[in-house]
Amino acid sequence: MGMYLNCGNGAFRQIRNGVYIDKTGLIDYINQTIDTARSLTCFSRPRRFGKSFAAAMLAAYYDKSCDSGELFDGLEISHLPSYKKYLNTLNVIYLDITWFISVTDDIRDVLSVIQRSVIEELLEAFPDYIKPDETILANAILNVCRKTNEKFFLIIDEWDALFREAKNHETLQKSYLRFLRGLFKGGPAMKSALAGAYMTGILPIKKYGTESALTDFEEYTMTSPDMLSEYVGFTEEEVRDLCREHTVDFEEMKRWYDGYSFEEPGSVYSPDSVMSAVKRKRFRNYWTGSETYESLKNYISMNFDGLKDSIIAMLGGDKIKIETARFQNDITSFKSKDDVLTLLIHLGYLAYNEAAGQVYIPNLEIAGAFQNAVEGNGWEEIASALASSEELLKATINRDCVAVETALEHIHDLNVSVLQYNDENSLSCAVTLAYYTARNDYTIIRELPSGKGFADLAFIPAPHVNKPALLIELKYDQTADSAIRQIRDRRYDGVLQKYTDNLLLVGISYNKNDKGKKHTCVIETYQ
């Protein structure tokens, strides 16, 4: 067993020894690509979304140096026709690019270290088929295959680490891409030596203009995961089963970690956060907890037209239309706000609805990351508004209409164009922003279907929270009293029937023609 060649199934065995979610259906997909024209797969996902777990699983399955049957028997893959066909039948080369960077003194030497390290192990395993002075990994693999007829499966974990760690070293990046092309575009002989390959990382494959630098790869990303979307993270069914098995509140789990959503299978959760909450029996910011907020702060503070307005609109609960196709899949080639927002999708800070072409802040965990990131760098006014939102919630619960009106006037007076109302939707964005930290205690739903229409905003308290539910109706150029009347006329309380003994009706209006205070508020207890 080597460090890079046929490194065994120990890593996957450790994964199986813990709380385990069966994701072996991914193996069946890869099996369908083996020895075909689409045998190269790149599946990118955010940090701590299970990328290395999947890579370890594939290594354990294909590695011919071990017997992994006991690890897979009973799992989904074992019931599928392709299971026995490739189980422990291939030479696996496993490259963790982050590891190589960490053990190389000078990052400019990392490619030579990779090739030298793997060739040394190939020489040990196949001494008669590789020249002792060989320095090119692709040649070594090709010679072994040509003389033994044995095929290889390549796994590259954190493939994009060089683009992140040496983001301004263009010469090294281009050398790295040439190295990868040598492995994966080496003509018919090289293609016959590789049964397949699986790359994973945070960023999709680098683009130059509109074309991928590695055109032979089938790519699956956070903007377009297609048939692999259920392997991006944990599905809602998987999370529900975990919560039931470990006696964890599913609704609270959903509030904290749901929000990434695809056409199939629907909701997808951050695996690391879910597992941490199950283990610790406590909900908190796990996924971003180990990551500095400086990177997020730097990205959202970039000087691109419309970027700040888009971020503020998402803080206020809006979804923003963007174009993701022009992003160059690196962390330096930004040309527009859409490039920055697309990067944040790949980093996991934003969720993306592919059908609608919209981005949004996915859940309570990420909302907390944005709240921390808007401190400083020109965001002081927004940070101040978010910090005061807890006082606004207290004023609302205490039915202090004057304090609510004053807080909303403050939000509206900020020099931010997206908060300068022209309709009830922009008013709704500002109000949601004003109540930002209420997310800690409430699920906030905009345009909640109810009665004869839609409630503009519904604040549904979390199970552990002893606070009233709030039903907020907004009016533009009308009165707050008319908003309250609309709530009663449309029977909005029906959707909040279980909260009718502790429900506040809140009418908020904005009248641009009022020469004095433009916001008015009426708060009533439901009777």
Please name which of 271, 514, 308 lies closest in space to residue 418, comparing C-alpha atoms: 308
3-state secondary structure of 195: strand
**What angle separates helix 307-315 from helix 364-373, to the nearest 10 degrees?**
130
Position 422 confidence tier, pLDDT thresholds 50, 70, 90:
low
Confidence check: pLDDT of 421 > 80: no
- Residue-wise pLDDT for 213-230, tens only, equals 788 899 999 999 999 999
CB-based contact 440:385 (threshold 8 Å) = no
C-alpha of 369 from chain center: 13
CB-based contact 179:162 (threshold 8 Å) = no
Rounded percentage of the chain residues whose pLDDT exceeds 90: 63
Confidence check: pLDDT of 210 > 90: no
Position 457 confidence tier, pLDDT thresholds 50, 70, 90:
confident
Cα–Cα separations (whole angstroms), residue 205 to 28, 179, 345: 23, 14, 15
- Average pLDDT for 36-59: 95
CB-based contact 68:92 (threshold 8 Å) = no
- Residue-wise pLDDT for 425-435, tens only, equals 777 888 888 89
Pairing of strands 40-44, 218-220: parallel
More confident residue, 155 or 527: 155
pLDDT value of position 452? 42
More confident residue, 463 or 66: 66
More confident residue, 497 or 90: 90
Predicted TM-score (pTM) of the model is: 0.92
Position 493 confidence tier, pLDDT thresholds 50, 70, 90:
low
**What angle separates helix 307-315 from helix 424-434, to the nearest 10 degrees?**
70
- Lowest mean pLDDT segment, chosen from 84-98, 302-316, 486-500: 486-500
What's the DSSP call for residue 48?
Answer: T
Please name which of 22, 12, 27 lies closest in space to residue 71, comparing C-alpha atoms: 12
Gap between the Cα atoms of 61 and 52, Å rounded: 14
- The answer to whether the Cα torsion of 180, 182, 186, 191 is positive or negative is negative
C-alpha of 167 from chain center: 21
- Average pLDDT for 365-380: 86
Percent helix / strand / coil, the chain, rounded to 5: 45, 20, 35
pLDDT value of position 118? 97
Ranges of H-type helices in 374-492: 380-387, 389-397, 401-413, 424-434, 480-489
